[in-house]
Structure 1
Amino acid sequence: MTKRAAPARQWPIDQLVEGVHYYREDGLMVLTEAYHLARGRCCGNRCRHCPFDHINVRSKRG
Protein backbone atom coordinates (compact mmCIF):
# COMPACT_ATOMS: atom_id res chain seq x y z
CA MET A 1 0.00 0.00 0.00
CA THR A 2 1.40 3.43 -0.95
CA LYS A 3 0.93 6.57 1.09
CA ARG A 4 -0.93 9.43 -0.52
CA ALA A 5 0.55 12.89 -0.33
CA ALA A 6 -1.29 15.43 1.76
CA PRO A 7 -3.55 17.63 -0.37
CA ALA A 8 -2.10 21.00 -1.35
CA ARG A 9 -3.19 23.94 0.76
CA GLN A 10 -6.11 25.65 -0.93
CA TRP A 11 -6.18 29.41 -1.48
CA PRO A 12 -9.57 31.05 -0.86
CA ILE A 13 -9.32 32.72 -4.28
CA ASP A 14 -8.91 30.77 -7.54
CA GLN A 15 -6.39 33.20 -8.97
CA LEU A 16 -4.43 35.76 -6.98
CA VAL A 17 -3.97 39.10 -8.73
CA GLU A 18 -0.87 41.13 -7.96
CA GLY A 19 -1.86 44.62 -6.83
CA VAL A 20 -5.28 43.40 -5.69
CA HIS A 21 -4.70 40.37 -3.46
CA TYR A 22 -0.99 40.84 -2.81
CA TYR A 23 2.05 42.96 -3.56
CA ARG A 24 5.77 42.27 -3.36
CA GLU A 25 8.02 43.98 -0.84
CA ASP A 26 11.71 43.15 -0.46
CA GLY A 27 11.15 39.88 -2.34
CA LEU A 28 8.26 38.79 -0.09
CA MET A 29 4.58 38.44 -0.95
CA VAL A 30 2.42 40.66 1.29
CA LEU A 31 -1.28 39.79 1.35
CA THR A 32 -3.71 42.71 1.15
CA GLU A 33 -6.90 43.42 3.08
CA ALA A 34 -8.88 42.28 0.00
CA TYR A 35 -7.23 38.86 0.21
CA HIS A 36 -7.93 38.56 3.94
CA LEU A 37 -11.57 39.54 3.48
CA ALA A 38 -11.91 36.81 0.82
CA ARG A 39 -10.32 34.35 3.26
CA GLY A 40 -12.98 35.27 5.78
CA ARG A 41 -11.10 34.92 9.07
CA CYS A 42 -7.96 35.87 10.93
CA CYS A 43 -5.24 33.25 10.44
CA GLY A 44 -3.32 34.25 13.57
CA ASN A 45 -0.07 35.11 11.76
CA ARG A 46 0.02 38.82 12.66
CA CYS A 47 -0.61 39.85 9.05
CA ARG A 48 0.09 43.50 8.27
CA HIS A 49 -3.29 44.12 6.60
CA CYS A 50 -5.56 41.99 8.83
CA PRO A 51 -9.10 43.44 8.77
CA PHE A 52 -10.11 41.24 11.73
CA ASP A 53 -8.09 43.09 14.42
CA HIS A 54 -5.78 40.06 14.83
CA ILE A 55 -8.43 38.22 16.88
CA ASN A 56 -6.70 34.82 16.51
CA VAL A 57 -3.16 36.01 17.31
CA ARG A 58 -1.84 34.44 20.47
CA SER A 59 -0.21 36.88 22.84
CA LYS A 60 3.53 36.51 23.42
CA ARG A 61 4.30 35.16 26.85
CA GLY A 62 7.71 35.22 28.03
Structure 2
Amino acid sequence: MKPEKKASNPPSLEPGDYYFNEQGLMVFTEKYHLKRGYCCGSGCKHCPFPKS
Protein backbone atom coordinates (compact mmCIF):
# COMPACT_ATOMS: atom_id res chain seq x y z
CA MET A 1 0.00 0.00 0.00
CA LYS A 2 1.41 3.38 -1.02
CA PRO A 3 1.66 6.03 1.73
CA GLU A 4 -0.64 9.01 1.59
CA LYS A 5 1.10 12.12 0.23
CA LYS A 6 0.84 15.45 1.99
CA ALA A 7 -0.95 18.32 0.27
CA SER A 8 1.60 20.97 1.25
CA ASN A 9 4.37 22.25 -1.02
CA PRO A 10 7.68 20.39 -0.87
CA PRO A 11 10.44 22.08 1.15
CA SER A 12 12.80 24.33 -0.75
CA LEU A 13 16.14 22.82 -1.78
CA GLU A 14 19.26 23.83 0.10
CA PRO A 15 22.91 22.76 -0.17
CA GLY A 16 23.26 19.18 1.06
CA ASP A 17 19.67 18.21 0.18
CA TYR A 18 20.68 16.45 -3.03
CA TYR A 19 23.52 15.45 -5.33
CA PHE A 20 23.81 14.29 -8.93
CA ASN A 21 24.82 10.68 -9.55
CA GLU A 22 27.05 9.38 -12.36
CA GLN A 23 24.08 9.28 -14.75
CA GLY A 24 23.28 12.94 -14.04
CA LEU A 25 20.14 12.19 -12.02
CA MET A 26 19.28 14.20 -8.90
CA VAL A 27 19.36 12.06 -5.74
CA PHE A 28 17.78 13.38 -2.54
CA THR A 29 19.76 12.90 0.68
CA GLU A 30 18.50 11.71 4.05
CA LYS A 31 18.58 15.37 5.16
CA TYR A 32 16.01 16.31 2.53
CA HIS A 33 13.76 13.32 3.27
CA LEU A 34 13.71 14.19 6.98
CA LYS A 35 12.90 17.82 6.15
CA ARG A 36 10.03 16.65 3.93
CA GLY A 37 8.76 14.56 6.82
CA TYR A 38 7.23 11.50 5.16
CA CYS A 39 7.98 8.59 2.85
CA CYS A 40 6.67 8.91 -0.71
CA GLY A 41 6.86 5.14 -1.28
CA SER A 42 9.17 5.38 -4.31
CA GLY A 43 12.02 3.38 -2.78
CA CYS A 44 14.42 6.33 -2.53
CA LYS A 45 18.06 5.37 -1.94
CA HIS A 46 18.49 7.50 1.20
CA CYS A 47 14.99 7.22 2.70
CA PRO A 48 15.25 7.27 6.52
CA PHE A 49 11.69 6.01 7.05
CA PRO A 50 10.86 2.36 7.78
CA LYS A 51 9.99 0.20 4.80
CA SER A 52 6.40 -1.03 4.91
Q: TM-score, normalised by structure 2?
A: 0.71
- Unaligned ranges ≥5, structure 1: 1-8, 56-62
Q: What is the SS of the residue equivalent to 1:36?
A: helix
Larger Rg: 1
Measured after TM superposition, the shift of residue 53 of structure 1 is: 2.1
**TM-score, length-scaled by structure 1:** 0.61
Q: 1:10 matched to which residue of 2?
A: 9
The question of 1:41 aligning with 2:35 is answered: no
Across the two proteins, how many residue pairs are aligned to each other?
44
How many angstroms apart in 1 are the aligned matches of 2:24 and 2:41? 22
RMSD: 1.7
